Amino acid sequence: MHYVKIIRASGSFFAREFQKKEKVRKNIKYREVDEKTVIQQFKDGDTTVEIYFEDSEREPIILDAFGDRELIKRYLGDKFL
């Protein structure tokens, strides 16, 4: 599973990317998900989280459960460790 954490100046939220049928004009959609769901999947090692900075030109960061603990703590928080 692949989740995206979108960081804005007004706050942040988690979203899940999914693809719709081919006939739809916009076939990639995002749906907001609860942080608890992401934490559970992340701790199980079943998912990656892409950190996307909306108001900045920084490159996105991709994190998984086996990555750098400092980056996980910095961008996702202590709950994910």
**pLDDT score at 30:** 84
**pLDDT score at 18:** 81
Q: How confident is the model at residue 28 (pLDDT cuts 50, 70, 90)?
A: confident
**Residue 4: how many other CB atoms lie within 10 Å:** 19
- Report the Cα 14 to chain-centroid distance in Å: 5
The DSSP letter of residue 79 is G
Domain spans, the chain? 2-80
The predicted-structure confidence for 31-58, as pLDDT tens digits, reads as follows 999 999 999 999 999 899 999 999 889 9
* Residues of the chain above pLDDT 70, percent: 96
